[in-house]
Amino acid sequence: MQIPTSWNEKGYVCEPIPEGIDLPSEIRRLAKEKNAVILAHYYTDGALQDLADFVGDSLALAQQAAKTQADIIVMCGVHFMAETCKILCPEKRVVCPDLRATCSLAESCPADRFAAFVRQHPDHKVISYVNTTAATKAWTDIVVTSTNARQIVESFPKEQPLIFGPDRNLGAYINSVTGRQMLLWDGACHVHERFSVEKLIALRQQYPDAEVLVHPECKKVIADMADVVGSTAALLKHAVESPAQTFLVVTESGILHKMRQKAPEKTFIPVPPDDSLESEACAIAGTGQTPKCCACNECHYMRLITLEKLYNSLRHEWPLVEVAEEVRAKAIRPIQRMLEISQRLGL
């Protein structure tokens, strides 16, 4: 991704935060004054989630963007989420507080390589996960998120050959539950790939009554141990509605903030990644700040978004997310198809 020169020169805090400022109330004041809506993904820091107008999974964030009346959309999430907002709302100013917040899946699927792959299989329909750049979406027939991937794949006739990219784990999971044999792009998420099988087994022995909640970007060996495999929104819903009291959570640890808010009487334990230091107290409290001292598995792209950057980006309406019109015109079709099917399915 192109990072503007001025961005490099100035760094990410374009102006120092005035001393003694109450950041959350200043952010809310600016958002109101500028008619801006703050959208946040479940993987962002809890303080950002608490400030946002709307917190959701990638499908819900796109749905919110598509219907907002705000003049400015501030995306506290990763770049492809902000790009989706800009594609849906080209007339609005879309701001992402740190443009370096990309995504390992989007990075794993550059548009030129994906286009070559698509061209090699002209009889295939192309399904891409929303975790892709706008340029990659432009090569796609329909976009999916983890909330609607299964239903959208099933909406194609069984004999229709399909390409699915970029997440090989989500693709393999959808193949296994639908009986399809989609051709898979070989991408993966650096967060979901590194959950520790051994540590999950040990936690299951320690908490035999706990339910295991797994995001479908995880490897098969982890998904096979799940009580529930689902999107962030589906895992949250299940955690609230299930009679179980304890949950082993195998997705980015930011989701625990909302789970604990929505079900304060329940216990949520983040399953650690392979390379975490052993620190059970930290894992259980979920209070550690960095992967070095903590069992939490964090997306370092999501964690680039901070309160300070949100404040500055609202103040300066910067950095703006732009999508070339030629790309936008192609990328909007598969996104709109996804939104239409999701609406029909009540998702």
Residues that bind ligand 13P (CB under 6 A): 57-58, 131, 145-146, 189, 217, 231-232
**Run of H or E including 238:** helix 232-241
Residue found under tokens 């299989």: 121
Contact call for residue 194 and ligand SF4 (CB under 6 A):
no
Contact call for residue 109 and ligand SF4 (CB under 6 A):
no
Contact call for residue 301 and ligand SF4 (CB under 6 A):
yes
DSSP state of 287: -
Q: Among ligand 13P, ligand SF4, none, what does residue 301 contact (CB within 5–8 Å per kind)?
A: ligand SF4
Q: Which residues of 172-181 are buried (b: 16+ CB within 10 A; e: fewer)?
A: bbbbeebebe
Q: Which residues does 144 contact at the CB level (< 8 Å), separation at least 6? A: 127, 128, 129, 130, 152, 153, 338
Please, which residue, 87 or 101, has the CB nearer to ligand SF4? Answer: 101
Least separation in angstroms between CB 61 and ligand SF4: 12
Q: Among ligand 13P, ligand SF4, none, what does residue 232 contact (CB within 5–8 Å per kind)?
A: ligand 13P
DSSP state of 155: T
Please, which residue, 17 or 341, has the CB nearer to ligand 13P? Answer: 341
Among 191, 223, 248, 335, binds ligand SF4 (CB under 6 A): 191
Query: What is the amino acid identity at position 137?
Result: K
Q: CA separation (Å) from 172 to 108, 149, 197, 216?
A: 17, 12, 18, 9
Secondary structure of residue 214 in the 3-state scheme: strand
Least separation in angstroms between CB 146 and ligand 13P: 4
Least separation in angstroms between CB 307 and ligand SF4: 19
Please, which residue, 145 or 312, has the CB nearer to ligand 13P? Answer: 145
Among 76, 105, 153, 233, binds ligand SF4 (CB under 6 A): 105
Q: Which residues does 49 contact at the CB level (< 8 Å), separation at least 6? A: 40, 42, 55, 254, 257, 258
Contact call for residue 103 and ligand SF4 (CB under 6 A):
yes
* CA 325 to the chain's CA centroid: 24
Contact call for residue 104 and ligand SF4 (CB under 6 A):
yes
* CA 60 to the chain's CA centroid: 11
Please, which residue, 63 or 70, has the CB nearer to ligand SF4? Answer: 63
> Which parts of this chain interact with ligand SF4 (CB under 6 A)?
43, 78, 103-105, 131, 189-191, 217, 252, 299, 301-302
